[in-house]
Homo-oligomer: A and B are copies of this chain.
């Protein structure tokens, strides 16, 4: 039996690296939604009377820790500053340290929570972001990871983006966030362990293998590519139309991305996000970076990537109770639809 033989039959699939099972249940897409049910996949942006992320409101936000000037006399095009309502915050170094007592392990919430403002214009759609601005955003990620990596109390920087209220965004003006933590987050730790196990067993980077097609063909569930990057739907996606973006050349650390690779990636992201809107009807979505922990040497087994997770369904009791997600769109079908909707590259 191969994945595509029986498109309407449910399948359980396991992601080889995280060990995570998912349920692929195309039949369940036929389920009627209740009369008053909010369609969970429609993107709704949260607008405020005055946008504190627009130029002129700089004093409303904490002072910036990074800024990328635009061309000519533009003071900034991308700004990074501490989140005003942080999940974590820097604290005095001497209060840092693990407390372990019976089944309790706790760390004071030392960390860094920052917001990356993507452009001066009040854009709400990533696909509308000019190439040079999007490139500077991707460079800002790199620079913040490098800078934060110098603090030895921090082990990991998670970069993520929420688009639409359903995806957790509380501000419309395009922005990303990053949270630096004194531990490697749960899912990344599992992925790293799985990738290392796979590499020991086969000698391959499991991600490099995902990018290889057989007989000169594109890799399975191919969506799009640029000169340096490939986009696929993963084998065991948690979300309908989920996509992974990976560099073609093996690289474990996002920080190694060059300026020209960032431009290439920005253009590709705009193409696949355009395809996502067309194929899945403008869903709210998140994307997030999975990269190697801070201050680690280059890893032959790990391969940084960006995961794009449309919020096409609501996670409910089964998902939160088991960690197993139900996805009603087979990734083979999602990839075909996305592929057909990707605009031509430059």
Contact = CB atoms under 8 A, between A and B. Distances in A.
Interface of A: 1-3, 6, 9-14, 16-17, 19-21, 23-25, 27-28, 30-38, 44, 46-49, 84-89, 91, 95, 99, 102-109, 111, 158, 160-162, 165-172, 177, 179, 181-183, 185-188, 190, 198, 206, 209-210, 235-236, 238, 286-290, 307, 309, 314-324, 326
A322 B187 contact: yes
Nearest to A238: B320
A322 B47 CA distance: 27
A12 B36 CA distance: 38
Contact of A109 (B12, B48, B183): B12
Given A36-B47, A87-B28, A323 B186 contact: yes
A181 B317 CA distance: 15
Contacts of A34: 46-48, 165, 170-172
Contact of A210 (B16, B103, B181): B103
Contact of A323 (B1, B106, B185, B235): B185
Contacts of A323: 185-187, 190
Nearest to A234: B103
B316 A286 contact: yes
Given A37-B46, A170-B31, A321 B103 contact: no
Given A1-B99, A28-B85, A286-B320, A109 B10 contact: yes
A9 B91 CA distance: 10
A33 to B, nearest CB: 6
Contacts of A166: 314
Contacts of A37: 46, 165, 170
A25 to B, nearest CB: 4
A126 to B, nearest CB: 13
Contact of A49 (B12, B35, B111): B35
B10 A103 contact: no
A12 B317 contact: no
Contacts of A87: 10, 23, 25, 28, 318, 326
B21 A183 contact: yes
Contacts of A27: 85-86, 89
Contacts of A158: 318, 321-322, 324
Nearest to A103: B16
Nearest to A167: B316
B185 A14 contact: no
A335 to B, nearest CB: 15
